[in-house]
């Protein structure tokens, strides 16, 4: 098996394990039958959008403007957001999926659809790379960049979908437009790298694009956190809530802490002291609701 396909298998397994666990553990009422049906429907949508919409659209634009036109070059920057963001909404054509999406669970649906779409795109890219002769004999460990990028993109597709679904029953077109804009700016540095803006060279631009993608990834997590919790608490989104073993205060876990395997050394905002926090100190939403009602 070619190295790129092994890398694609590893990336798919990691993405499914990490994001799948997040989707399953997220709170919010949802019919899991329709949630995972939306995921499976999204799997082939990226290749289908490419072959059925993007390629015919490109042929039409080339026939009208020519492939050397500067205006054509700029138009191609909008191909991905204009074709992919509507394609991700195909699961909504099923009435039972549309009805099941609510304010309480739209992020969960967005992540499921984005994961399916991202995995389909992952294998589309892997197939394209496999057809390049110089990569034919490359071992899988040489595709760590592919693994990192595709892992993050699987989440970012969910971020874009969430922007649209948040306005599903109120100015939905504005939400879709917002998803397209976010998608465009996520891809824009790649165009600048291809143009070698300022003559920085491939190595420098590759580092810039990698840093941009990482920042976009963290920004996407922050946006999802805001949608779920109402404020950007990155630590809470990833690590949940903790109960201080000293003062018993319940607080959102900080993103900045010392991670020690299955424990974290973190500071309680109540007593201002540092403690070693383990699983026994974690607080679920159900426990918090019970504590608030008592």
- Per residue in 91-143, pLDDT tens? 999 999 999 999 889 999 999 999 999 999 999 999 999 999 888 888 989 99
- Tokens standing for residue 205: 């631009």
Whether 233 has a pLDDT exceeding 70, the answer reads no
Q: Give the pairing type, strands 274-277 and 241-243.
A: unpaired
Task: Output the pLDDT for position 202.
Answer: 81
Nearest residue to 81 via CA among 178, 195, 153, 220: 178
SS3 breakdown of the chain: % helix, strand, coil, rounded to 5? 70, 5, 20
CB 120 within 8 A of CB 42: yes
Q: Which among 232, 255, 284 is the end of a domain?
A: 232
Same domain, 176 and 276: no
- Tokens standing for residue 184: 């465009």
Same domain, 171 and 201: yes
Averaged over 172-185, what is the pLDDT? Answer: 94
d(CA 225, CA 236) in angstroms, rounded, equals: 8
Same domain, 178 and 286: no
Same domain, 105 and 158: yes
- Tokens standing for residue 206: 């590759």
Same domain, 196 and 284: no
Same domain, 227 and 249: no
Task: Output the pLDDT for position 288.
Answer: 64
Q: What percent of the chain has pLDDT over 90?
A: 53
Instruction: Give me the residue label for tokens 């109120």.
Output: 170
Give me the sign of the Cα torsion angle 13, 14, 17, 19: negative
Q: Which among 209, 232, 255 is the end of a domain?
A: 232
- Tokens standing for residue 262: 């299955």
More confident residue, 101 or 187: 101
Same domain, 223 and 272: no
Task: Output the pLDDT for position 34.
Answer: 96
SS3 at position 168:
coil
Which residues lie below 8 Å from residue 145, measured CB to CB, with a gap of 6+? Answer: 210
The answer to which of 61-75, 104-118, 147-161 has the lowest mean pLDDT is 61-75
Same domain, 79 and 216: yes
Burial group, residue 150, by CB count within 10 angstroms (0-12, 13-18, 19+) = buried
Task: Output the pLDDT for position 54.
Answer: 94
Domain that holds residue 245: 237-293
Averaging pLDDT over each range in 5-9, 24-28, 205-209, which range is the top one? 5-9
- Tokens standing for residue 26: 């997220």
d(CA 89, CA 104) in angstroms, rounded, equals: 18
Q: Which among 232, 261, 276 is the end of a domain?
A: 232
Output phi, psi for 89, to 5 deg: -90, 5
Task: Output the pLDDT for position 78.
Answer: 92
Please state the domain count of the chain. 2
SS3 at position 178:
helix
- Tokens standing for residue 43: 């799997």
Same domain, 166 and 49: yes
SS3 at position 191:
helix
- Tokens standing for residue 2: 């070619």
d(CA 291, CA 294) in angstroms, rounded, equals: 5
d(CA 227, CA 106) in angstroms, rounded, equals: 9
Same domain, 227 and 267: no
d(CA 38, CA 115) in angstroms, rounded, equals: 10
Averaged over 30-38, what is the pLDDT? Answer: 95
C-alpha 154: how far from chain center: 4
Same domain, 69 and 207: yes
d(CA 125, CA 208) in angstroms, rounded, equals: 21
Averaged over 248-275, what is the pLDDT? Answer: 85
Instruction: Give me the residue label for tokens 């790129």.
Output: 4
Q: What is the mean pLDDT of the chain?
A: 89
Same domain, 104 and 209: yes
């Amino acid at each position: 098996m070619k190295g790129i396909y092994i890398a694609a298998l590893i990336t798919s397994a990691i993405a499914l394990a990490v994001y799948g666990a997040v989707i399953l553990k997220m709170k919010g009422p949802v019919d899991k039958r329709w949630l995972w049906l939306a995921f499976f429907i999204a799997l082939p949508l990226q290749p289908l959008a490419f072959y059925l919409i993007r390629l015919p659209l490109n042929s039409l634009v080339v026939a009208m403007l020519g492939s050397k036109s500067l205006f054509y070059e700029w138009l191609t920057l909008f191909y991905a957001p204009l074709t992919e963001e509507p394609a991700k909404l195909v699961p909504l054509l099923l009435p039972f999926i549309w009805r099941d999406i609510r304010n309480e669970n739209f992020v969960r649906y967005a992540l499921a659809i984005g994961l399916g779409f991202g995995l389909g795109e992952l294998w589309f890219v892997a197939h394209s790379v496999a057809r390049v002769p110089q990569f034919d004999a490359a071992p899988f460990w040489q595709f760590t960049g592919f693994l990192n990028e595709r892992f993050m993109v699987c989440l970012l597709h969910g971020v874009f979908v969430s922007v649209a679904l948040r306005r599903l029953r109120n100015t939905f077109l504005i939400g879709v437009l917002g998803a397209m804009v976010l998608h465009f700016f996520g891809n824009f540095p790649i165009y600048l790298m291809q143009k070698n803006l300022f003559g920085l060279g491939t190595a420098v631009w590759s580092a810039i694009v990698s840093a941009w993608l990482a920042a976009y990834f963290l920004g996407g997590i922050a946006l999802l956190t805001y949608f779920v919790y109402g404020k950007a608490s990155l630590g809470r989104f990833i690590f949940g809530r903790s109960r201080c073993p000293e003062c018993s205060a319940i607080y959102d876990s900080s993103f900045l802490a010392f991670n020690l395997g299955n424990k974290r050394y973190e500071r309680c905002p109540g007593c201002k002291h540092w403690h070693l926090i383990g699983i026994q100190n974690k607080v679920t939403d159900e426990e918090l609701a019970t504590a608030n009602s008592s």
